[in-house]
Structure 1
Amino acid sequence: MAEAVTGGAAVVDSLVAQGVRHVFGIPGTHNLEIYRYLPSSGIRHVVTRHEQGAGYAADGYARVTGGPGVLITTSGPGITNAITALATSYADSVPTLAISPGPPRGTVGKDVGWLHELKNQQGALDAVCDRSIRVESADELPEVIAEIFAGFTSRRPRPVHLEVPVDVLEGEWVRRPAAAAQTFEVVQVDSAEIAAAFAQARRPLIIAGGGARGAAAEIRALAANGVPVLTTVNGKGIIDERDPVALGASIRLPAAHRVITEADLVVAVGTELGDSDLWGGVPQAAKVIRIDIDPAQLHKNLQADLPITGDAQQALQLTTKRFDTTHVTEWQKAIRADADLDAGPWAAIQESLAGALPADTVIAGDSSQVTYYGTVHFWPFTTANRLLYPTGYATLGYGLPAAIGAKIAQPERPVIGLFGDGAAMFTIQEFVTATELRLPLPIIVINNGGYAEIREQMVDRGIAPQAVDLYQPDLPAMARAIGAHGIEATSAAALGDLAAEALTTDRPTLIQLTISGSRA
């Protein structure tokens, strides 16, 4: 029997039909009809203290689950607060869905003084997402949301914004069965040319990006046959970094660039080989195969001799040839020597934590020196680990809410946050969220007095340091005032045991380690 409800039910029913279990967000005047139907839906709503935090939490959730993260905001400032988080998901190819109200039908662009009115809300979101979709009736929602979710698995996964006019959300809708999840056909790949290239190669190299995770088993099989694997930061952990042919996630280092030029076959899987990964120009290579679900990636930054659009898992099921690996040890030594130049205090911090924490720990980093000089190079990941890191957009403030999203997604799994004091202060309000949720999260803040990386760049350019040495609040005391635990670590060596103990508590723990200066 038909049931008269509002358009908010169409949104919630459609999310349920796609298997959504959690959403992140903040209620506001224009999205309240969505909240009317959430409690009875079985979907858990996690309220954050800022919409940007909701966006980062949805991003972290998506990275550890492999499925979409969903955030709900109100119109205007609510959705624009989330834009930086959505741009982060876009840069790193993370599937997130942002749902917001929009202006009533017939008022878009009219500048009528509507509450939260934006000149062009949909245009603003379309500029940072894969696309922004506006529906004009509640009847459209089931099929539109089903198509969005199908797109997350059939093409390059990037954030999508769904705008629902507020009068559609609040208007009457006759409830009907939600659209079923859509299926898609996998693009068939002819791997004969790839097999032939491997057959002719003597010193092949695989570069695995974040888009290669679905082909991790095939990449490990090639590694077992002696093919060395270098990963981007987003590909870190695809192969156990203790493997005899693993070259780590140190693709930005000069030694890794030399490795790329010395290989006689480079197979780049699921990566754009961008500046955010390589920190400079792309090295030339003798022969290049690129495999990606997105055809626009196949010649980006490095021209492919053999471009393959489609499923990397299928493309790499191709060879059992065994390769001589005598040269790989020299490649590993050269890369490690380059990494050691950046060691500073970062190596000791990573070694302490890696030695004390479970093998499947998720590390939520940030655009902090302790992440890109430390975790990337000095925490030897197994295939069970996962690093959450805003590589492409290089935002500050990502780590804390991303850790919350990861812990909500997989509560049984150990999750920590590890980042600098500058990054922490961008989203420190989400420590309240973690405390309210009673999450056993160790949040480790390495305090070097401000924006150390930018300070170094100023000095290198002959600019007098300014606006980089910051006033430092007592972060452990702040954590205790919130109702969580707050601890000052006395040394890098102490961090591992403190973090391991914090995993057993009933609330988050802020662990601060104060160090002197940048890379001191």
Structure 2
Amino acid sequence: MTTLGEALIHLLEAHGVDTVFGIPGVHTVELYRGLARSKIRHVTPRHEQGAGFMADGYARASGKPGVAFVITGPGLTNTLTAMGQARADSVPMLVISGVNATDTLGKGLGHLHELPDQRGMMAKVALSSRRIDKADELPGALADAFALFASARPGPVHIEIPTDVMVVPADGLSPKFANAAPPAPDGALIAKAAALAAKATRPVIFAGGGTRAAEAALKRLAEALDAPVVLTTNARGLLHAHPLAVPASPSFKSVRKMVEEADLAIAVGTELGPTDYDMYGDDGFRLPENFVRIDIDAEQLARHPTTVAVQADARAGLDALLAALAGKTLQADGAGRAAAARTAARAELSPAMQAQLDAVETIRDTLPGAIIVGDSTQPVYAGNLCYDHDRPGGWFNAATGFGALGYGPPAAIGAALAVPDATVVCLTGDGGFQFSLPELAAAVEADARVIFVVWNNSGYREIETSMRDVGVEPVGVSPAPPDFAKIAEAYGIPAERLAARSGLPDALRRARAAKKPYLIEIAVD
């Protein structure tokens, strides 16, 4: 007899899942039946939040959904923060959890790990939350989840299986596939957008995280329109060193000036959120009168007034717009406008922030093509403001959107396992690192060759600065950091501490040569 727990593993394999992140418990034992005999690799984090962040990093680096197995109750609530980050950044994540036996649900009888309404809680964060009550419901539930990932704005999906349902017979279950596709761009709307573009004399393009798989189409359209391309945080790495690229936040006055002088803005795959467009909270971002949006999400398109709103996948929408232009090209001084915005944006950074940006660029230049996974720390803030990465999809962090601290280390582990041939760097601060420090053990156990770069300024320096700026005497912003090198060595990870940033290039080269997890701590005055 094949149980539903065993069938789950076979069905996941059929959907191309090769890795799951999870911590087994008494409520998920039956989900693990057959896992050891499958081709799926199981990675054990040290906390369920780490499982979610690893799944997130795996998804961003691989382009495939990240999958997490967690227990009911505390296991799932621990994963909720990671799901919030995935929802904010449109990351495909499948969370499969247990739940108590069917006849106990909602009765408040005090069972282990009991929640009043687990699905109700998850429905507030997940794109969907579904309970499997019968064995034959599982193939359809998985098909629906993977169809959503493929055809709509992705995010976290939750499936729960009661402990009594995990063990029911499930012989003969076959996988289902929905063959879903993103909505095709509306030809009439594309024609309107093309007409606006053909008349523009100073167009500009905004590229968000939704364009990460559409670099070639984005480049062709930008060159046809001679339009500067402002890259949000999640689009960094696209158009590296291209004369039309503006890898700088539209929160900068210089970038906003370029936008205000434009007669057309085209936004592709971006939610226009304030953590990209209004980092300083001054409500100073203004769009030109003619505004075209291309986005896969109809709800997202309805949130801002537009001249033309096209629901489509970024690549399909860009290709359609380019085709509608029928070979027309503009001369709009795009390179000059982009260069002026880039130069002026960098000049807006404070000397301290420029020094932090130098550290990020040192990592890029020493380790070309690396994936840099960030946490909420000062060099990452600087990079999000103004930084040109050299690998599409190779710069991501949790310092925008939901803003979960402790994201970097586990997400970097997930990325390293997704793309084992890539050099993966985790750039984290001493405060954020302590949120997920035990995941060093998971890196060693899984042979995730992450280079952990710890920016140690002995506290939450950014928060301390924010307090001082508004006249609040700093409290609670100086958590004493441990000896990170000793902790790393206790896990069997080589480590070194730098007293000056000048030693970073050589340390990075030693770390890459080690071909194993490695820790570099930078002491910051």
TM-score by length of 1: 0.94
In structure 2, the partner of 1:313 is 315
In structure 2, the partner of 1:284 is 287
Contact kept? 1:16, 1:43, Cα under 8 Å? yes
Residues 256-275 of structure 1: CA distance to partner in whole angstroms, max 9, x if unpaired?
A: 22222221110001111111
In structure 1, the partner of 2:249 is 250
Residue range with higher mean Cα deviation, 323-332 or 131-140: 323-332
In structure 2, the partner of 1:64 is 61
Report the CA distance between 1:40 and its aligned residue: 1.6
TM-score by length of 2: 0.93
Contact kept? 2:235, 2:393, Cα under 8 Å? no
Report the CA distance between 1:490 and its aligned residue: 2.7
Amino acid aligned to 2:470? R
Flag structure 1 segments of 5+ consecutive residues without an equivalent. Answer: none
Contact kept? 1:17, 1:179, Cα under 8 Å? no
Amino acid aligned to 1:332? R
Report the CA distance between 1:94 and its aligned residue: 0.5
Q: 2:412 aligns with which of 403, 411, 415?
A: 403
Amino acid aligned to 2:75? G
Question: What is the rounded CA distance, in whole Å, between the counterparts of 2:436 and 2:359 in structure 1?
Answer: 23
Q: 1:200-211 alignment to 2 at 5 Å?
A: 200-211=199-210
Question: What is the rounded CA distance, in whole Å, between the counterparts of 2:415 and 2:506 in structure 1?
Answer: 22
Q: 2:341 aligns with which of 311, 331, 334?
A: 331
Amino acid aligned to 2:310? I
Question: What is the rounded CA distance, in whole Å, between the counterparts of 1:437 and 1:419 in structure 2?
Answer: 20
Residue range with higher mean Cα deviation, 483-492 or 422-431: 483-492
1:174 pairs with 2:171: yes
Contact kept? 1:488, 1:513, Cα under 8 Å? yes
In structure 2, the partner of 1:232 is 232
Question: What is the rounded CA distance, in whole Å, between the counterparts of 1:340 and 1:461 in structure 2?
Answer: 18
Contact kept? 2:182, 2:313, Cα under 8 Å? no
Q: Secondary structure at the match of 1:234?
A: helix
Report the CA distance between 1:106 and its aligned residue: 2.7
Q: 1:10-409 alignment to 2 at 5 Å?
A: 10-180=7-177, 182-184=179-181, 186-190=183-187, 191-225=190-224, 226-240=226-240, 242-278=241-277, 279=279, 280=281, 281=283, 282-300=285-303, 302-317=304-319, 318=322, 319=325, 320-325=328-333, 326-339=336-349, 343-358=353-368, 360-373=369-382, 375-377=383-385, 379-384=387-392, 386-390=394-398, 391-409=400-418
Q: Secondary structure at the match of 1:321?
A: coil
In structure 2, the partner of 1:483 is 492
Question: What is the rounded CA distance, in whole Å, between the counterparts of 1:112 and 1:513 in structure 2?
Answer: 52
Amino acid aligned to 1:235? A
Residues 447-495 of structure 1: CA distance to partner in whole angstroms, max 9, x if unpaired?
A: 0111111101111121111110121211011101111111101321221
Residues 200-258 of structure 1: CA distance to partner in whole angstroms, max 9, x if unpaired?
A: 00110110000122332111112333211001101111221x11111114222222222
1:435 pairs with 2:434: no
Question: What is the rounded CA distance, in whole Å, between the counterparts of 2:464 and 2:60 in structure 1?
Answer: 31
Question: What is the rounded CA distance, in whole Å, between the counterparts of 1:438 and 1:224 in structure 2?
Answer: 42
C-alpha spacing 1:378/1:227, structure 2 compared with 1 (3 Å):
closer
Question: What is the rounded CA distance, in whole Å, between the counterparts of 2:192 and 2:9 in structure 1?
Answer: 47
Question: What is the rounded CA distance, in whole Å, between the counterparts of 1:409 and 1:438 in structure 2?
Answer: 12
Contact kept? 1:206, 1:229, Cα under 8 Å? yes
Q: Secondary structure at the match of 1:403?
A: helix
Amino acid aligned to 1:177? S
Report the CA distance between 1:91 and its aligned residue: 0.6
Contact kept? 2:248, 2:345, Cα under 8 Å? no
Question: What is the rounded CA distance, in whole Å, between the counterparts of 2:182 and 2:353 in structure 1?
Answer: 46
Question: What is the rounded CA distance, in whole Å, between the counterparts of 1:443 and 1:259 in structure 2?
Answer: 37
Identity of aligned residues (%): 39
C-alpha spacing 1:175/1:503, structure 2 compared with 1 (3 Å):
farther
Q: 1:412-427 alignment to 2 at 5 Å?
A: 412-427=421-436
Report the CA distance between 1:377 and its aligned residue: 4.5
Residue range with higher mean Cα deviation, 127-136 or 222-231: 222-231
Report the CA distance between 1:49 and its aligned residue: 0.4
Flag structure 2 segments of 5+ consecutive residues without an equivalent. Answer: none
C-alpha spacing 1:497/1:224, structure 2 compared with 1 (3 Å):
farther
Residue range with higher mean Cα deviation, 392-401 or 225-234: 225-234
Report the CA distance between 1:342 and its aligned residue: 5.7
Question: What is the rounded CA distance, in whole Å, between the counterparts of 1:408 and 1:329 in structure 2?
Answer: 37
Q: Secondary structure at the match of 1:140?
A: helix
Contact kept? 1:363, 1:415, Cα under 8 Å? yes
Question: What is the rounded CA distance, in whole Å, between the counterparts of 2:350 and 2:244 in structure 1?
Answer: 19
Residue range with higher mean Cα deviation, 148-157 or 382-391: 382-391
Size of the aligned set, in residue pairs, is 509
Contact kept? 1:349, 1:493, Cα under 8 Å? no
Amino acid aligned to 1:306? V
Amino acid aligned to 2:457? N
C-alpha spacing 1:185/1:55, structure 2 compared with 1 (3 Å):
closer
Contact kept? 2:207, 2:269, Cα under 8 Å? yes
Contact kept? 1:18, 1:181, Cα under 8 Å? no
Amino acid aligned to 2:90? S
C-alpha spacing 1:470/1:141, structure 2 compared with 1 (3 Å):
same
**TM superposition outliers: structure 1 runs of 4+ over 6 Å:** none
Q: 1:449-488 alignment to 2 at 5 Å?
A: 449-488=458-497
In structure 2, the partner of 1:512 is 521
Question: What is the rounded CA distance, in whole Å, between the counterparts of 1:354 and 1:69 in structure 2?
Answer: 26
Residues 99-153 of structure 1: CA distance to partner in whole angstroms, max 9, x if unpaired?
A: 0011211322101121111111111111111121111112110111011101111
Contact kept? 1:20, 1:43, Cα under 8 Å? yes
Q: Secondary structure at the match of 2:522?
A: strand
Question: What is the rounded CA distance, in whole Å, between the counterparts of 2:498 and 2:352 in structure 1?
Answer: 22
Q: Secondary structure at the match of 1:175?
A: coil
Question: What is the rounded CA distance, in whole Å, between the counterparts of 1:509 and 1:52 in structure 2?
Answer: 22
Residues 79-110 of structure 1: CA distance to partner in whole angstroms, max 9, x if unpaired?
A: 11100000000011100000001121132210
Amino acid aligned to 1:495? L
Amino acid aligned to 1:323? Q
Contact kept? 1:189, 1:314, Cα under 8 Å? no
